Structure 1
Amino acid sequence: MSSQTKACLYALATALMWSTVATAFKLTLNHLDPWQMVFWSVLTSTLLLGAFVIAQGKWLQLIQQGREHFGLYILLGFLNPFLYHIVLFGGYDLLPAQQAQALNYSWPLALTLLAVPLLGNKLSFKDGICCLIAYLGVVIISTRGELQNLNFGNPQGVILMLSSTLVWALYWILNARNKGDSQVGLLLCFLFGLPWITIAVFWKSSVWPIPVEGLSGALYIGLVEMGFAYIIWLKALKLAENTSVISNISYLSPFLSLIFIANILNESIHLSTYVGLVLIVAAVVFQRRKAASEKPSEAPVMSNH
């Protein structure tokens, strides 16, 4: 089996993992509040990533990398996993899963827009068109196709989901400056983010007692969404001879997610969700192919859920 074939299989496994998390979020939020959900899922993921890094003998690198970029990791840990997941789970708590997960996939366009003031990038005409198409999809999903009335079912939920894309894009831009080991870097983000989360959960909520169903859901999220999916995704990128193929496979995730949402959460998937999601994904794919053709080594690859 060739390296590219193995990479595609790893990418498919990752896409399948990502496609389950929207359903897991909603099921877990039936038993936990967002603060509790973030705490237990991040704690689980931190333990998993820590075991994985130590098993590879990278604990000295962990200490060195943390010392060299101490200030950066304080900021990164605040952004992700803390702020990003608090805002993300808050949005999922207020919106149907089909809307929340579709809106979340507009983050690459948020990245394009933030790169203008933060990195000095120029917004080309094609980039602008891609953003307009993607955010038209956002409006279609948010209003369930009622464009004439612009009737947003839950404006607060929509604002939270779009805010989560900005937080993730900001984290992505800042994290791109870190040239250290990516697995070690992710663990450091979680280690530095955990104190923020611990303070917040004791201030806003409580860590115990919680229902077994809620704890099980948080453990699943920590192991899958924040843990194994990332590890396997990095493996796919390492083996890939052509990362654009791997990136394209990741776009299966939001559509597979709708299958789980419909069959497990029993949500009736609206036509507007499909239309909006197609517009968002098409705009992201076109924008990334344009970026790859201009700067192949710098083109970002989908790594969010």
Structure 2
Amino acid sequence: MTSQQKAYLYGLSAVLAWSTVATAFKISLTHLSPAQLVLYASAFSLLSLLSILAVQGRLASLLPALRQHWQRSLLLGAVNPFCYYLILFQAYDLLPAQEAQALNYTWALTMTLLAIPILKQKLRQQDAIAALVCYAGVLVIATRGQPFAMEFSNLGGVGYALASTILWAGYWLFNTKDEREPVLGLTLNFLFALPLALLWCAMHGELTAVSWQGVAGAAYVGALEMGFTFVLWLSAMKLTDSTARIANLIFLSPMVSLFLIYLLLGEQVLPSTLFGLALILGGLLLQKIPVKRKAPALS
């Protein structure tokens, strides 16, 4: 296989894995609280990442990286996975899976908007239009097709879903200045996030016995969504000769995810979800369209 073919294979594998997580979140949350799911999933993700480093023969690099970058690792670990997934799981706990996963796709646009104050980037007219289109989609989904009535299906759940996009986008923006090797960095994040999740559960009386179904769901979420899939995606991005081609594969995920939600959770996919998701994806695609620069006038 050529490097590009391998990149497509890894990229598609990652996208297919991510397509299952909305269903996995919802099933796991029938057996665990959001905080418990963060705790157990973080533990399994850390095990997954440590296993990857062991296979790569890089476990010995972990301690020197910890000594050098413990402050950054603590800060980023508190944001992702701890705070991000705690808020995201709250959204999934309150909303139907189809609505939570659709709203979560606005993180890419949120990142563009946050880059204006954080990275001092300019807001293009194209980005402003894309934002209006995307958030019109959010309004359609949140009101279940009645945006002018402004009656939200679950305002708290929508708030959690949108707040999670801010945390996720902010995490990746600050990650642009991260000097740590990506897999090592993610492992260190989980190393610090795990005791935070343990402390949170202890403070809220959630260190209780859980069912094996909950543990199994957390193992799937932690190892796949939070751990191994990240390495697949990172490998795809390294092997490809066109980052845009691989990045565009993510647009396959929403429809596969909705099919699984219908098939495995039995949720009837609402027309408002489909229309709102179409607006969100349309806005994200609009943002990607290259703008032709005007040729300089000849003197």
Kindly provide the amino acid, as one letter, of the partner of residue 112 in structure 1.
T
Kindly provide the amino acid, as one letter, of the partner of residue 158 in structure 2.
V
Kindly provide the amino acid, as one letter, of the partner of residue 18 in structure 2.
W
Give the aligned partner of residue 159 of structure 2: 159
1:90 maps to 2:90: yes
Kindly provide the amino acid, as one letter, of the partner of residue 166 in structure 1.
I
How far, CA to CA, are the matches of 1:286 and 1:64 in structure 2?
A: 44
Write out aligned runs for 1:216-231 (5 A). 216-231=216-231
Moved more, 79-88 or 225-234: 225-234
How far, CA to CA, are the matches of 2:205 and 2:132 in structure 1?
A: 39
What is the CA-CA distance between 1:289 and the residue it aligns to? 4.4
Map Cα deviations across residues 238-277 of structure 1 (whole Å, 9 max, x no partner).
2111111111111111110000000111111011111111
How far, CA to CA, are the matches of 1:40 and 1:95 in structure 2?
A: 22
The DSSP-based 3-state class of the residue aligned with 1:103 is: helix
Give the aligned partner of residue 284 of structure 2: 284
Q: 1:178 to 1:153 in 2, by over 3 A?
A: same
How far, CA to CA, are the matches of 1:208 and 1:148 in structure 2?
A: 44
What is the CA-CA distance between 1:235 and the residue it aligns to? 1.5
What is the CA-CA distance between 1:282 and the residue it aligns to? 2.1
Moved more, 35-44 or 9-18: 9-18
**Number of aligned residue pairs:** 293
1:58 maps to 2:58: yes
Give the aligned partner of residue 3 of structure 2: 3
Kindly provide the amino acid, as one letter, of the partner of residue 204 in structure 2.
K
How far, CA to CA, are the matches of 1:46 and 1:290 in structure 2?
A: 39
What is the CA-CA distance between 1:119 and the residue it aligns to? 1.6
CA contact (8 A) 2:126 2:286 kept: no
Give the aligned partner of residue 297 of structure 2: none
Give the aligned partner of residue 202 of structure 2: 202
Give the aligned partner of residue 30 of structure 1: 30
CA contact (8 A) 1:134 1:279 kept: yes
Map Cα deviations across residues 45-64 of structure 1 (whole Å, 9 max, x no partner).
00110121132122343233
Give the aligned partner of residue 173 of structure 1: 173
How far, CA to CA, are the matches of 2:66 and 2:122 in structure 1?
A: 33
Kindly provide the amino acid, as one letter, of the partner of residue 203 in structure 2.
W
Moved more, 175-184 or 80-89: 175-184
Give the aligned partner of residue 81 of structure 1: 81
What is the CA-CA distance between 1:70 and the residue it aligns to? 2.2
CA contact (8 A) 2:40 2:219 kept: yes
What is the CA-CA distance between 1:108 and the residue it aligns to? 0.9
The two structures, once aligned, show a CA RMSD in angstroms of 1.5
Moved more, 278-287 or 85-94: 278-287
What is the CA-CA distance between 1:146 and the residue it aligns to? 0.4
1:45 maps to 2:37: no
How far, CA to CA, are the matches of 1:53 and 1:15 in structure 2?
A: 22
Instruction: Output the TM-score relative to the length of structure 2.
Output: 0.94
The DSSP-based 3-state class of the residue aligned with 2:145 is: coil
Instruction: Output the TM-score relative to the length of structure 1.
Output: 0.92
Q: 1:67 to 1:284 in 2, by over 3 A?
A: farther
Give the aligned partner of residue 144 of structure 2: 144
CA contact (8 A) 2:74 2:192 kept: yes
Moved more, 94-103 or 239-248: 239-248
CA contact (8 A) 2:29 2:93 kept: yes
Gaps in structure 1 of 5+ consecutive residues: 295-305
What is the CA-CA distance between 1:10 and the residue it aligns to? 1.3
Question: Could you list the runs of 4 or more consecutive aligned residues of structure 1 that deviate by over 6 angstroms after TM superposition?
Answer: none
CA contact (8 A) 1:35 1:205 kept: no
Give the aligned partner of residue 68 of structure 1: 68
The DSSP-based 3-state class of the residue aligned with 2:20 is: helix
How far, CA to CA, are the matches of 2:70 and 2:78 in structure 1?
A: 13
Asked which structure has the greater CA Rg, the reply is 2
Give the aligned partner of residue 260 of structure 2: 260
Map Cα deviations across residues 87-120 of structure 1 (whole Å, 9 max, x no partner).
0000000000000000000001111111111121
Q: 1:157 to 1:182 in 2, by over 3 A?
A: same
The DSSP-based 3-state class of the residue aligned with 1:68 is: helix
Kindly provide the amino acid, as one letter, of the partner of residue 173 in structure 2.
I
Kindly provide the amino acid, as one letter, of the partner of residue 59 in structure 2.
W
Kindly provide the amino acid, as one letter, of the partner of residue 207 in structure 2.
V
